[in-house]
Amino acid sequence: MDNKIRVMLADDHFVVRQGLSALLESQPDIEIVGEAADGVEAVTLARKCCPDVVLMDINMPIMNGLEATRIISAELPQIRIIGLSINDDAETNAAMQAAGAATLVGKDCGSGTLLTVIRRCTP
């Protein structure tokens, strides 16, 4: 498939990135174009590889996911950001959307839910 959804992962836990990468790479319509371990790295990598979607952890060192989302959304509004958090309450969701994210998904969601959200975020 030529028109794959280009996804970038931003999470400070290697095992989480590894698991997400394995899940997403198993999908014929998705390709991983980069992985970041903190918010600063996420912003730099988003500028470099211009993914369609960023899966953005909220709690990361150096720069958190909210600030990274604000910067990426302001500079690269075509990129859809999906927040990932263990706290998927209304307040966290509102904060992430105010920062420019399309939505917030709890880290406890199933793989099917995550794949659906990614596919719905892209044109």
Span 68-122, pLDDT tens digits: 999 999 999 999 999 998 877 888 888 989 999 999 998 888 899 999 999 998 8
pLDDT at 19 over 60: yes
Instruction: Count the alpha carbons within 13 Å of 13 in the hemisphere toward its beta carbon.
Output: 12
Span 35-78, pLDDT tens digits: 999 999 999 999 999 999 999 999 999 999 999 999 999 999 99
- What's the mean pLDDT in 1-7? 83
Domain span including residue 85:
5-121
For residue 112, CA distances in Å to 21, 27, 108, 118 come to 14, 11, 12, 10
Question: What is the band of 1 on the pLDDT scale with cuts at 50, 70, 90?
Answer: very low
Residues 38 and 45: beta-carbon distance below 8 Å: no
For residue 98, CA distances in Å to 5, 20, 45, 113 come to 24, 25, 22, 22
What is the count of structural domains for the chain?
Answer: 1
Q: What is the mean pLDDT of the chain?
A: 92
Span 64-74, pLDDT tens digits: 999 999 999 99
- Phi then psi dihedrals of residue 31, to 5 deg: -135, 140
Q: Assign residue 36 the CATH number of its domain.
A: 3.40.50.2300
Q: What is the pLDDT of residue 93?
A: 85
Residues 47 and 55: beta-carbon distance below 8 Å: no
Q: What is the pLDDT of residue 98?
A: 93
